[in-house]
Amino acid sequence: MPAHLPRLGSGLGYRKELASDVATAGEAVDWLEVITEHYLFAPPDVRESLGALRRDRPLVPHGLELSLGSPEEPDPHYVQALAALVEEIDAPWFSDHVCFTRAGGVSVGTLTPLPRSRGVARNFARRAQAVQAAVGAPLILENITYHLDLPHPLTEAEFLTELMEHCDCGLLLDLTNLDINSRNHHYDVGEFLDTIPLERVVQVHLAGGIESADGTARDSHSAPVPERVWQLLAELAGRTELRATLVERDQDFPDDFTELTAELARARRIVGFGAPRRAPGLAAVLPAGRVAGR
């Protein structure tokens, strides 16, 4: 999949709190990711605002409620509306999560992890393939964080690999989620990257989180991207060609928007968007005088 998709560059998750800054950002923001459900069944004036955003830069819808892992099949009305939205904004792809968010027609209010078995992975892949065909655009699937990890037949990396082997969707690799899960559940990031099909990674997410008093890392999207995650981006960019990077901030927005555009510039520099691509290595992202520890 990734080879034929456009290289969007370094993008930002669009939030209403950032609207005025985004409007004047110019080339500092290459593209925007919008939350699918904010626009899916929105009134005409809201959809018109989306059209205004699209005139300035590419848009990609990022969903929360497709819920491909639910006991039930995907809601056909949701899928139909999603197809119309993707066509309306001419999105190069759309994305959602490897999880479920609904059961019995009721929203559970969170991105809930799935039992990691081959059967579950294959069923999820079947549904993802069907939705991709119905929407008529590439679907890329994101890894989530999880705080409770019950015994499963497959590791997280093995589950994602099994899923990818049974559909031709792409991966949205959230590097912050990967970093958090690896620390909370004590697995090796290198083994994870060695296991998953890196050639299927289309896009990455970059965000900052918090650490609770008991040492548990949490994906809050409320802080600058940490150095650990920048190092992961450099390693990944040296191993596969990415089509897009995306900085997420959902709360505690900086007073100075240039704090976010500086992160976009750093991601752009690491991956090589806008310049001949080369593998940057960790030296490209570490502060002067720092040595990467493994």
- CB neighbourhood size of 33 (10 A): 24
Phi then psi for 58, rounded to 5 degrees? -60, 150
How does pLDDT run across 23-33, given as a tens digit for each residue? Answer: 999 999 999 99
pTM reported for the whole predicted model: 0.90
Which of 111, 117, 187, 195 lies closest to 152 in space, CA to CA?
Answer: 117
pLDDT band at 277 (very low <50, low <70, confident <90, very high): very low
Is 243 within 8 Å of 207 (Cβ atoms)?
no
Per-residue pLDDT tens over the stretch 50-69? 999 999 999 999 999 999 99
pLDDT at 284 over 60: no
Give me the pLDDT at residue 228, please.
Answer: 96
Portion of the chain with pLDDT greater than 90, in percent: 81
List pLDDT tens digits, range 94-141. 999 999 999 888 888 899 999 999 999 999 999 999 999 999 999 999
Q: What pLDDT does 173 receive?
A: 98
Q: What's the residue count for the chain?
A: 294
Question: What is the distance between the terminal CA atoms of the chain, rounded to a whole angstrom?
Answer: 31
The pLDDT tens digits of the residues spanning 144-184 come to 999 888 889 999 999 999 999 999 999 999 999 999 999 99
Domain ranges of the chain: 2-284
Nearest to 205 by CA among 240, 169, 238, 242: 242
Positions of E strands within the chain: 9-13, 31-35, 59-62, 94-97, 100-103, 106-112, 139-142, 170-174, 201-206, 208-211, 217-223, 244-247
Confidence of residue 211 (pLDDT cuts 50, 70, 90): confident
Q: How confident is the model at residue 210 (pLDDT cuts 50, 70, 90)?
A: confident
Give the containing element (helix H, strand E) for 184. Answer: helix 175-185
Average pLDDT over residues 17-43: 97
DSSP state of 138: -
Confidence class for position 288, pLDDT limits 50, 70, 90: very low
CA max distance for the chain:
55
Q: Which of 169, 158, 250 is nearest to 203 (CA)?
A: 169
pLDDT at position 83 over 70 = yes
2-284 in CATH: which number? Answer: 3.20.20.150
pLDDT tens for 214-256 read 888 778 888 999 999 999 999 999 999 999 999 999 999 999 9
For residue 279, pLDDT over 70 is answered with no
